[in-house]
C-alpha cells in the first residue's frame, strides 16, 4: 500500500534519514505503533524500527514516535 500524505506534513519532516521510504508502504521501515492518545502521542513497540530514527524519543520505560509522516500514516490508515 502506498500512502498519500499532505505536502505540508512532508515539509515539516526535516530529520528523515530514509528519504520517506515509509510512503512506499513497506512496513519494515517504520516503528510499530503500540498505542495512541488522541492522535497526538504515539507509543511505539521497542525494537520494531528498521534502524536509528531521530524522531524516536524515550518516555519512561517506553518510546514515542514524533515523526510527522509516521504519525499521519497511523492516524489516516491505522497502520
What torsion do the CA atoms of 34, 37, 39, 40 make, to the nearest 10 degrees? -100
**pTM flag (> 0.85):** yes
For residue 49, the enclosing domain spans 7-77
69 in any annotated domain: yes
27 in any annotated domain: yes
pLDDT tens-place string over residues 26-76: 766 778 899 999 999 999 987 776 567 889 998 898 899 999 999 999 999
Q: What string of DSSP letters covers 8-66?
A: HHHHH-TT-SSTTGGGGT-GGGSPPEEEEETTTEEEE-TT-SSS--TTEEEETTEEEE-
41 in any annotated domain: yes
31 in any annotated domain: yes
2 in any annotated domain: no
Amino acid at each position: 500500500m502506498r500512502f498519500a500524505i499532505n505536502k505540508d506534513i512532508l515539509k515539516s519532516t526535516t530529520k528523515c534519514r530514509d528519504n520517506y521510504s515509509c510512503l512506499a508502504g513497506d512496513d519494515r521501515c517504520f516503528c510499530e505503533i503500540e498505542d495512541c492518545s488522541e492522535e497526538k502521542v504515539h507509543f511505539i513497540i521497542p525494537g520494531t524500527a528498521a534502524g536509528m530514527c531521530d524522531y524516536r524519543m524515550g518516555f519512561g520505560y517506553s518510546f514515542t514516535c514524533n515523526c510527522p509522516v509516521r504519525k499521519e500514516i497511523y492516524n489516516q490508515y491505522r497502520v
